[in-house]
Structure 1
Amino acid sequence: MNKLQDILPKMNISNDSDRPLYKMPGRLTKATDDCMYRECDGSGLIHVIKENGYEVMMVCKCKEYKELLEQIKTARIPADYLDKRINDFDIKMYQEKDSVRVAQYAKKIATSYVTQYPEMEDMGKELYFYSNTKGSGKTLLSIAITNELIIKYQIKPIYISVVNMLNEMKHSFTNKDSNRNFYNLMESFKQAPVLVMDDLGVEKTTDWSEEVLTQILDERMSYKRPTIITSNKPIQLLHKMYPAGRIKSRIEKMTFPALMPEESVREIIARQENEQIAKLFLN
């Protein structure tokens, strides 16, 4: 099993006296390997006969695990990040002192945000992670926050890069019922309980793309729907890419800016992996 199993103890899933089915005689469901705990037959339900003779169906622990996996899957989180938590954002990976300091600050903000999420949601204030350097950890930290929110608050977020968001909306016009497909996509981004927009500013800007992003941000701001954004530009410079100015003003209102290190962790990790491979080859 992957690291997602580590999530389970933090979900308050118990098998103590408030769940008598695991200790009670009269079990009718045969446990199989289809259940990761070997408590049920893989269906997520256990059929038991209680001492008073009543037959009941009880929920197995594996059902909650499967539901968690489904939530993460529907959030569209990339496979490499499925099990990432805030603790996986390792500030020791950075080699420059300034980078370590900035990374510590960003990690503290991420941790505090998850802890105080209900208050942040009420205020309509979310996060904007930015740095000019590719591979600096923006995506990792934003998805780690997303996974924490799924686990702690059972929300159903959507993660998507801005490039993919706009491409999907463009391609919706090539299908049958294009207006309906476009509308459904637009509504899914507008109404997601939490929306993570990765790499804002990387896309090619047009009047159409600026208008689409403005509509999404406008609705999310109006209804205080949490939006986490990563970008290679500080908020103050967004007007250069989005000259109408509406995107910059909405993001200023919606988010708390958090600087990320100007150092590529991706390059460091790639170099370490290549060094390990070189040792294998030489040995």
Structure 2
Amino acid sequence: MNISKDMNPKSYEKPRILTKASDKCIFRICDGRGQIHQENKPGDDYMVICQCRKYKQQLRKIKSAGIPTDYTDKTMNDFKIDMYETDYSVRLAKYAKQAVTGYLDRYQEFEDMGKGFYFYSQTKGSGKSLLSMIIANELIKRYELNALYISVVNMLTELKNKMNQSNSKVGVYDLIESFKKADLLILDDLGVEKATEWSEEILTQILDDRMNYRRPTIITSNVSVEGLERKYPAGRIKSRIEKLTFPLRLPEESVRETLSKQDNEKMAQMLFN
């Protein structure tokens, strides 16, 4: 039966949401299942994807990247220039923040070049790891890429453990391939590990593959680029890192130590005031 124009149900000015909002949805739009039941007019209803589903997918990607829980929600706003004390440290931090911001804004161009960063500073807690994981978080959110974060010490330990297993060849190959093929690889604390002929060979394999296929790599280290030749005497690590990354020196100040002192002062006030 045809319905005359005058008898058509009235359309809503905006789609009417039929789904009952719940606290299970971080945006309080859907019921937590990631879909919104909407209606243009009676009898014309449909489902749309809620923002919370994409948010959950991003969180899963961040967690699967191996990023520690304390860093999974970090953004550029968390890299605070005023945490550094000396003028020189502030200048270094400003330069690093400007460089990282520019990198994120033009990432697709740098991705085509296969370029990342080499953050270095002899001081622990200076912001190297924080900046590297901010980059990972932002790129996962913007481009939904597959990132992988691991400290060099843990990477080598995992490989050694795989080698001691019965199916070692398969396990070691798969693990090395995951480091080679990740859209973005973050190698934390390069230079802390005990350098051996074997460890240098493993690092060379991974860096060489990433260099050849232009896959961006972020590296943090307590060793300057010039000092890499002394740390890795075979000489193959330095040249690959120079090709893969743009070096950025971080201040020789421990922001982590400053933040820890602030936390303790806050806790003391809560306990005794």
Q: Distance in 2 between matches of 1:267 and 1:31?
A: 42
1:24 corresponds to: 15
1:135 aligns with 2:156: no
Residues 21, 191 of structure 1: alpha-carbon distance in 2 compared, 3 angstrom cutoff: farther
1:10 corresponds to: none
Q: Distance in 2 between matches of 1:51 and 1:280?
A: 55
Q: Distance in 2 between matches of 1:125 and 1:133?
A: 25
State the shift of 1:193 in Å. Answer: 0.2
1:86 corresponds to: 76
Aligned residues: 263
**Deviation per CA, 1:214-253, whole angstroms, max 9, x where unpaired?**
0000000000000011100111110111111101110011
Aligned residues of 2:118 and 2:218 also touching (Cα < 8 A): yes
Residues 56, 170 of structure 1: alpha-carbon distance in 2 compared, 3 angstrom cutoff: same
Q: Distance in 1 between matches of 2:241 and 2:12?
A: 50
2:3 corresponds to: none
1:45 corresponds to: 35
1:156 corresponds to: 146
1:268 aligns with 2:249: no
Max Rg structure: 2
Taking structure 1 as the reference length, what is the TM-score of the superposition?
A: 0.86
**Deviation per CA, 1:174-204, whole angstroms, max 9, x where unpaired?**
3342211111111110000000111100011
Taking structure 2 as the reference length, what is the TM-score of the superposition?
A: 0.89
2:61 corresponds to: 71
1:222 corresponds to: 212
- 92, 98, 102: which is aligned to 1:102? 92
The one-letter amino acid of 1:146's match is A
For structure 2, which runs of at least 5 residues remain unmatched after alignment?
1-10
Q: Distance in 2 between matches of 1:162 and 1:24?
A: 52
Aligned residues of 1:26 and 1:50 also touching (Cα < 8 A): no
Residues 118, 22 of structure 1: alpha-carbon distance in 2 compared, 3 angstrom cutoff: farther
Q: Distance in 1 between matches of 2:199 and 2:246?
A: 24
State the shift of 1:70 in Å. Answer: 1.0
State the shift of 1:124 in Å. Answer: 2.2
1:17 corresponds to: none
Q: Distance in 1 between matches of 2:243 and 2:13?
A: 51
Aligned residues of 1:21 and 1:48 also touching (Cα < 8 A): no
Residues 40, 242 of structure 1: alpha-carbon distance in 2 compared, 3 angstrom cutoff: same
**Deviation per CA, 1:155-187, whole angstroms, max 9, x where unpaired?**
121111111111111111233422111111111
1:198 aligns with 2:150: no
Aligned residues of 2:126 and 2:251 also touching (Cα < 8 A): yes
Report the secondary structure of 1:235's partner residue.
coil
The one-letter amino acid of 1:224's match is R
Report the secondary structure of 1:134's partner residue.
coil
State the shift of 1:26 in Å. Answer: 8.1
Report the secondary structure of 1:258's partner residue.
strand
Residues 278, 30 of structure 1: alpha-carbon distance in 2 compared, 3 angstrom cutoff: closer
The one-letter amino acid of 1:250's match is R
1:248 corresponds to: 238
Root-mean-square deviation (CA), in Å?
2.2
1:209 corresponds to: 199
